[in-house]
């Protein structure tokens, strides 16, 4: 019995076809068939049912498959352990990023480029998604690390967090908005937004969760007129008078350039937080652990400056 035969078996089952398995393995299809038949002869039982359009496991094959996968995983684990000790890191790291997090203060692109230059054998995949979806993916093992938005009162017990950005949330509006006159143009109690159309990030983001929780505590449900993943779009919609946008704090000169006025939200004070997140038991594999170490050292810790939209 050879590891190659086990790899072929697992791949055929996953692909449901000898042809697709051979293409994925970059070998000839007859070779895949021959190796699996040899494995079946050694075990004395058919492992695959070839009678249908899709190849499936027999009852014996279904029982054998977990052992084949475990054997392949054990060999890969041995290889990764040796590479970790010799300094030769390989593997694949899956990183999630909440929309709008990559700013000038948060230069993830440079960090990843430097890491790749030091560890060219590590493949990195980067996807953007909502914070809620990425937390679920971390728990399922579908992501190794993620940069997410978090609310102050919503710290997952099974996820480790390193707060990277902690900034006040503001109400952004067109310069002629009546709120600027009625509030005196200094701060804005959250309750003043109860009857106003709001412009916000989508559900599942940290800022949206913070806003909805605060509104419930203030006794009203926010009227979300527009939502978008890009803070720049939210700012533009607000500058056209389509509603009041809830955004991370914007420097006055930047707000003016966007055609906006901003007021800090009070009663309660609202804050937007961006955090690096990973499973409480730690990432699986040396490649993910190496990237976690680099990100923890290379990204800011609790930066309280504004996050530009």
Domain 165-272, architecture per CATH:
3-Layer(aba) Sandwich (3.40)
Q: Output the 3-class SS for 133-197.
A: HHHHHHHHCCCCEEEEEECCCCCCCCEEEEEEEEEEEEEEECCCCHHHHHCCCCCEEHHHHCCCE
CB 299 within 8 A of CB 205: no
| Rounded Cα distance, 272 and 152, in Å | 8
CB 158 within 8 A of CB 280: yes
pLDDT at residue 156 in the model: 77
Q: What share of the chain is helix, strand, coil (3-state, %, to 5)?
A: 45, 25, 35
CATH 3.40.190.10: does it fit domain 92-162+273-298?
yes
What pTM, to 2 d.p., does this model score? 0.64
pLDDT at residue 84 in the model: 66
Q: Per-residue pLDDT for the chain (309 aa), expressed as one digit of tens each?
A: 889 999 999 999 999 999 999 998 889 999 999 999 999 999 999 999 999 888 999 999 999 999 999 999 898 888 777 766 666 577 889 999 987 665 556 678 889 999 999 888 889 999 988 888 899 999 988 999 999 988 766 677 889 999 888 889 999 999 989 888 877 768 899 999 999 999 998 888 888 888 998 999 999 999 999 998 888 899 999 999 999 999 988 888 888 999 999 999 988 888 888 899 999 988 878 889 889 999 998 887 654 433 333
For 3-86, CATH number out of 3.40.50.280, 3.40.50.740, 3.10.150.10, 1.10.10.10 equals 1.10.10.10
For the chain, domain boundaries: 3-86, 92-162+273-298, 165-272
């Amino acid at each position: 019995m050879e590891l190659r035969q086990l790899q072929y078996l697992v791949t055929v089952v996953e692909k449901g076809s000898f042809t697709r398995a051979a293409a994925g393995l970059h070998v000839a299809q007859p070779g895949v068939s021959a190796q699996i038949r040899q494995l079946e002869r050694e075990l004395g039982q058919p492992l695959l049912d070839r009678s249908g359009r899709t190849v499936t496991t027999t009852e014996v094959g279904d029982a054998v498959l977990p052992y084949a996968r475990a054997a392949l995983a054990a060999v890969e684990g041995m290889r990764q352990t040796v590479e970790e000790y010799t300094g030769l890191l390989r593997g694949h790291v899956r990183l999630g990023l909440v929309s709008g997090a990559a700013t000038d203060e948060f230069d993830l692109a440079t960090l990843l480029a430097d890491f790749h230059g030091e560890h060219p054998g590590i493949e990195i995949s980067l996807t953007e998604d909502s914070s809620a979806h990425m937390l679920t993916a971390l728990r399922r093992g579908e992501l190794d690390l993620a940069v997410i938005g978090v609310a102050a009162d919503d710290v997952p017990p099974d996820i480790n967090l390193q707060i990277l950005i902690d900034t006040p949330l503001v109400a952004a509006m067109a310069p002629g908005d009546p709120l600027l006159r009625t509030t005196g143009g200094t701060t804005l109690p959250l309750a003043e937004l109860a009857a106003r159309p709001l412009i916000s990030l989508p559900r599942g983001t940290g800022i949206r969760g913070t806003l909805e929780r605060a509104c419930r505590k203030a006794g009203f449900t926010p009227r979300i007129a527009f939502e978008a993943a890009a803070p720049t779009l939210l700012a533009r919609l607000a500058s056209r008078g389509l509603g009041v946008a809830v955004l991370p704090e914007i420097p006055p000169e930047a707000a003016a350039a966007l055609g906006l006025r901003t007021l800090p939200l009070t009663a309660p004070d609202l804050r937007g937080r961006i955090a690096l997140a990973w499973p409480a038991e730690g990432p699986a594999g040396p490649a993910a652990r190496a990237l976690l170490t680099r990100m923890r050292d290379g990204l800011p810790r609790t930066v309280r400056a504004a996050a530009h939209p």
